[in-house]
């Protein structure tokens, strides 16, 4: 099932919904009116912090599939929905570096023997169709298509075999990277945590649909031209391995997200290099999830913000 956070045109109020045929079911309103078994749900994070909340909600929604008349007043046409990032304020945003063999090779860096972790911050998160805003501090902004894991329940010291049980689902992420800052700083935090540099969306697809996230086609297009094309089966460390590894040293909480790494084709390794510029459009498509699309602009077009 595909869950979303959204607002309505002219309103800043957040709603949780799910794709219902060609429309969206307003789950926030359905819970407020007692149609669904929760007191109130305003965003996906609310459900993730309820024990087995997402699974219960998914089961209840499946049971309601035939009740179209009952839910008719809760359905919203897709053109009237403004999608937001499926996770808005995660406690942790964890990046994984060099997790595709071909990407490691194109950078000239040795393939890691264990997952290479780095931290990012929630200020970087934006949703579908939100702009990636390039500030004056960087002139070398790169794209990175990634499968993103969303944690659904607290995970600490979990084994590889049980790790996927702690996953709520998956979404698409763009680990936008200021290469001049990243390489100049000789560490990755600043160059990957700039405001708007972690687009995510368009939805959260549950583990019941995508299992352990293996075998999903992933493609990035820049202004319609394919720049990255691979499959998550080529991850060096797959989703269960990542969740298990991270949980050995830090407790994963509901709503935490893991950007699992990017395949080859990034801009700075090309000859000549390709960096994002104002007017560009970046699209990332992952099988079973959808398309995350974001325009690019510089900060002068947003009043310097």
Average pLDDT over residues 45-66: 89
112 burial type by CB count under 10 A (0-12 exposed, 13-18 middle, 19+ buried): middle
Average pLDDT over residues 37-66: 89
Taking only the tens place, the pLDDT of each residue in 78-98 is 999 999 999 999 999 999 999
Beta-carbon contacts of 248 under 8 Å, excluding residues fewer than 6 positions away, are 157
Taking only the tens place, the pLDDT of each residue in 1-42 is 999 999 998 888 999 999 999 999 999 999 998 888 888 899
pLDDT score for 64: 86
Average pLDDT over residues 240-248: 98
Average pLDDT over residues 49-62: 89
Question: What is the CATH topology of the domain spanning 93-302?
Answer: Fumarylacetoacetate hydrolase; domain 2 (3.90.850)
Q: Count the Cβ atoms, other than its own, within 10 Å of residue 73.
A: 11
Residue 66 has pLDDT above 70, yes or no: yes
Q: Do the two domains 2-84 and 93-302 of this chain adopt the same fold?
A: no
pLDDT score for 178: 98
Q: Which two tokens stand for residue 171?
A: 């979404």
Average pLDDT over residues 62-67: 82
Taking only the tens place, the pLDDT of each residue in 6-16 is 999 888 899 99
Please state whether beta strands 82-84 and 2-7 pair in parallel, antiparallel, or not at all (unpaired). Answer: antiparallel
Taking only the tens place, the pLDDT of each residue in 112-164 is 999 999 999 999 999 999 999 999 999 999 999 999 999 999 999 999 999 99
Average pLDDT over residues 213-241: 98
Question: What is the CATH topology of the domain spanning 2-84?
Answer: SH3 type barrels. (2.30.30)
State how far the Cα of 74 lies from the Cα of 31, in Å rounded to an integer.
11
What is the residue extent of each domain of the chain? 2-84, 93-302
Q: How confident is the model at residue 303 (pLDDT cuts 50, 70, 90)?
A: low
Whether the full predicted model's pTM is greater than 0.85, yes or no, is yes
pLDDT score for 240: 98
pLDDT score for 12: 86
Beta-carbon contacts of 142 under 8 Å, excluding residues fewer than 6 positions away, are 176, 177, 178, 179, 266, 267, 268, 275, 276
Average pLDDT over residues 186-194: 95
């Amino acid at each position: 099932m595909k869950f979303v956070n959204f607002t309505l045109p002219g309103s800043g109020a957040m709603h949780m919904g799910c794709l219902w045929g060609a429309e969206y079911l307003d789950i926030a309103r359905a819970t407020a009116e007692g149609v669904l078994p929760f007191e109130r749900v305003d965003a996906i994070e609310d459900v993730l912090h309820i024990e087995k909340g997402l699974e219960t909600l998914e089961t209840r929604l499946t049971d309601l599939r035939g009740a179209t008349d009952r839910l008719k007043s809760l359905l919203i046409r897709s053109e009237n929905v403004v999608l937001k990032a499926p996770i808005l304020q995660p406690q942790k945003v964890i990046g994984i570096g060099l997790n595709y063999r071909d990407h490691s090779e194109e950078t000239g860096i040795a393939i890691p023997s264990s997952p290479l972790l780095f931290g990012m911050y929630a200020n970087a998160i934006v949703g579908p169709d939100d702009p990636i805003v390039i500030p004056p501090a960087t002139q070398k902004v790169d794209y990175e298509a990634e499968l993103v894991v969303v944690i659904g329940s607290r995970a600490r010291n979990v084994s590889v075999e049980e790790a996927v049980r702690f996953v709520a689902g998956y979404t698409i992420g763009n680990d936008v990277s200021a290469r001049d800052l990243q390489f100049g700083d000789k560490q990755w935090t600043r160059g990957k945590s700039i405001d708007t540099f972690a687009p995510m969306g368009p939805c959260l697809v549950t583990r019941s649909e995508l299992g352990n996230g293996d075998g999903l086609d992933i493609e990035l297009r820049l202004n319609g031209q394919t720049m990255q094309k691979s499959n998550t089966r080529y991850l060096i460390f797959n989703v269960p391995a990542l969740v298990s590894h991270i949980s050995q040293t830090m407790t994963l909480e509901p709503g935490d997200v893991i950007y699992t790494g990017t395949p080859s084709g990034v801009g700075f390794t090309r000859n000549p290099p390709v960096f994002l510029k104002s007017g560009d459009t970046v699209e990332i498509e992952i099988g079973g999830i959808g398309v995350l699309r974001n325009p690019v602009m510089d900060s002068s077009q947003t009043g310097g913000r």
